[in-house]
Structure 1
Amino acid sequence: MKAWRVHELGEPRTALQLEEVPDPTAGPGQVLVKVLAAPANFPDVLLCWGEYQIKPPLPFTPGVELCGEVLAVGDGVTRFAVGDRVIGNPNLPGGGFAQLAVMDEANTFAAPSALDDAEASALSIGYQTSWFALHRRTQLKPGETLLVHAAAGGVGSAAVQLGKAAGAKVIGVVGGADKVEYCRRLGADLVIDRHTDDFVPLVKEFTGGRGADVVYDPVGGDAYAKSTKCIAFEGRILIIGFAGGTIPTPGLNHALIKNYSIIGLHWGLYKQYNQQAIADCHEELTRLADSGAITPLISERLSLADVADGIGRLGDGSTVGRLVFQP
């Protein structure tokens, strides 16, 4: 099969090499899938850089989620059969940017019939992360105001749709006019271009001076620092990641004085501590997809040959919305 592999860490455009490699096989408790679609995620950039929390041995194939068709099942697999269309997370070092991939049964779920292959492939990490953040780590309530940073990105776009599905008013912060339009298509009530406007006064104006009840922050740095200036009484700041490259140092005295919470989310830990919660989340996301409340908005559908450039553009911050590669 063909697969993109990293032999030496570095920038994705140079680190990724398309190679012919032996076909993988499904071991006990695993399924072998033909990759139908695999979206670009920021963790794929971090994997190439060697800065992700998981560091697979070299050489490895990135691609942390996919939609695929089951070609074979290993001993002990009971939930899937050959021909099933599934989504989930492949087993690194053999990621989804390949023609074939292997997944553990526990990390594999039925693809919602309401979504096509590209849409279904993007329903795993981003939507699971955002659902856990908004409904488990905090409880977003109808009528509350949700402020989403990087709202045109992978997890941010999911947070916008899930916030609207929960009945919240959603403010999206993005960087660039093209991302503004994409975020509006997601359903945000107010979209702010951080390249031209300071979001702090606009959030205060939109909320009548109250501020945002929940802040969804996958960026860190200035995004976090400014969010503390427009957080509501009893507000919650969700720490999702640090795509901006700077890890904030919170002033805990400020959290005390303004009476807000700082809440972290590491979605991957649920695989270790509460796998059933992930299964329950997938069931709810499937229900929302089937009802039309959420649909991953795919901005580019690319071929397998485009992986290196697409991941490189994601790392540069020049992409808009979700990029999906379809072998």
Structure 2
Amino acid sequence: MKAVRISGFGIAPVLDELPEPQPRAGRSLVRMAAATVGHIDRTVWSGAFFAHPPLPYIPGVEAAGTVVASDRHAPGQRVWLRGSGLGTTENGTWCELIDAPDEALGLLPDGLDMALGAAFFSPCTSAWVALHEIAGLRAGERVLVTGATGAVGSMTVQLARETGAVVFARAEEAAGQPVDLLVDTVGGPMLEAALPHVAPGGRAVLVGYTAGNLLPLNIAHFLQRDVALLPLNMFRRDAAGRAAVPSLLARLSDGRLKLEVKRFPLGEAASALEWITQRGHRGRAVLVP
């Protein structure tokens, strides 16, 4: 089978020919139809993540495909894959035939594009958990979303509007109109600039840090404004995210939610890793066989 492998941290990925994995108890073999390229893959690849598979390794924490062999699912079943160490402590999804723990698989509705099935989990569940589990969003509240053109930001805007919130996709739109909730997906200077738009007693959910991971904070000013800074850690919130998956997939299937994807051939993983770093890129990158 063809698989993308990384031989060292920061070294460009290469496409290799590897033996096909064999069926094992407690694991499923899935024919990959699409595999996501995300910022977590870049972090593992850089060596900066808290865990990583033994080198060389196959990256990829998310994918979608059809079951080839499994004790839990019938052959031909459409599934999405995420978690259980895929791409972080063991080989991941950037290969034609994925060897995954049974627990990493979830059912994918018929008719849903496989690229969406691979790409939906991180942005959709992150946005859902940020709004409903952490922020406790209520109808009529005013919400500012930074990075609204990105995958998580776009999904946050859509889900917040669905809840009945008044949503601002740029800080300039909220000028002079304090917001109840800030959902920041980029961090750095953009987070610093957005925080003053939150009304005293409001809250800010911190989702990402692609624009920088440092936040200068005037403590006296911060205390006076009494804004709650609420971090989103989806590893700790995984159960809440998975519980929301069926309703999120239903919304994607019938078009109530939209998520853009950009496809790259499996052999162009390096280009996909670079594309997701470009400012203003829209949607998610996926590798296809």
**TM-score, normalised by the number of residues in structure 2:** 0.89
Partner residue, 2:264: 302
Quote the Cα distance in structure 2 between the aligned partners of 1:29 and 1:62. 21
Taking only aligned residues, the RMSD between alpha carbons, in angstroms, comes to: 2.2
Contact 2:151–2:260 under 8 Å retained in 1: no
Partner residue, 2:213: 246
C-alpha displacement of 1:231:
0.7
Contact 1:88–1:124 under 8 Å retained in 2: no
Range 127-136 or range 306-315, more displaced: 306-315
| 1:1-60 C-alpha deviation (Å, 9 max, x unpaired) | 1111111111xxx52111112222443332211111112211122122122333222112
**Alignment of structure 1 residues 39-50 onto 2, 5 Å:** 39-50=36-47
Secondary structure at the counterpart of residue 68 of structure 1: strand
* Runs of 5+ consecutive residues of structure 1 not aligned to the other structure: 173-191, 193-198
Quote the Cα distance in structure 1 between the aligned partners of 2:113 and 2:6. 29
Quote the Cα distance in structure 2 between the aligned partners of 1:253 and 1:73. 58
Contact 2:260–2:282 under 8 Å retained in 1: no
Contact 1:119–1:295 under 8 Å retained in 2: no
Partner residue, 2:81: 88
Secondary structure at the counterpart of residue 277 of structure 2: helix
**Alignment of structure 1 residues 137-156 onto 2, 5 Å:** 137-156=134-153
* Runs of 5+ consecutive residues of structure 2 not aligned to the other structure: none
Alignment counterpart, residue 127 of structure 1, candidates 121, 124, 127: 124
Quote the Cα distance in structure 1 between the aligned partners of 2:211 and 2:51. 19
Alignment counterpart, residue 50 of structure 2, candidates 45, 49, 53: 53
Quote the Cα distance in structure 2 between the aligned partners of 1:111 and 1:231. 38
**Alignment of structure 1 residues 99-248 onto 2, 5 Å:** 99-172=96-169, 192=170, 199=171, 201-204=172-175, 209-248=176-215
Contact 1:112–1:289 under 8 Å retained in 2: no
**Alignment of structure 1 residues 244-283 onto 2, 5 Å:** 244-271=211-238, 275=239, 277-283=240-246
Quote the Cα distance in structure 2 between the aligned partners of 1:270 and 1:47. 20
Partner residue, 1:176: none
Change beyond 3 A, Cα 1:159–1:102:
farther
Task: Give the residue type in structure 1 aligned to 2:135.
Answer: T
Change beyond 3 A, Cα 1:142–1:262:
same
**TM-score, normalised by the number of residues in structure 1:** 0.80
Quote the Cα distance in structure 1 between the aligned partners of 2:280 and 2:201. 35
| 1:90-120 C-alpha deviation (Å, 9 max, x unpaired) | 6233222111112333232111335211112
Change beyond 3 A, Cα 1:170–1:105:
farther
Contact 2:128–2:241 under 8 Å retained in 1: no
Change beyond 3 A, Cα 1:292–1:224:
same
| 1:155-211 C-alpha deviation (Å, 9 max, x unpaired) | 222222222222223222xxxxxxxxxxxxxxxxxxx4xxxxxx3x4322xxxx332
Secondary structure at the counterpart of residue 211 of structure 2: coil
Contact 1:65–1:121 under 8 Å retained in 2: yes
Partner residue, 1:187: none
Quote the Cα distance in structure 2 between the aligned partners of 1:224 and 1:242. 9
Quote the Cα distance in structure 1 between the aligned partners of 2:189 and 2:91. 35
Partner residue, 1:8: 8
Quote the Cα distance in structure 2 between the aligned partners of 1:159 and 1:114. 24
Secondary structure at the counterpart of residue 52 of structure 1: coil
Match status 1:29 vs 2:22: no
Task: Give the residue type in structure 1 aligned to 2:242.
Answer: A
| 1:192-242 C-alpha deviation (Å, 9 max, x unpaired) | 4xxxxxx3x4322xxxx3322221223221122112211123321111122
Identity of aligned residues (%): 29
C-alpha displacement of 1:263:
0.4
C-alpha displacement of 1:321:
2.3
Partner residue, 2:277: 315
Contact 2:53–2:91 under 8 Å retained in 1: no
Quote the Cα distance in structure 2 between the aligned partners of 1:254 and 1:25. 60
Secondary structure at the counterpart of residue 196 of structure 2: coil
Contact 1:45–1:312 under 8 Å retained in 2: no
Match status 1:73 vs 2:70: yes
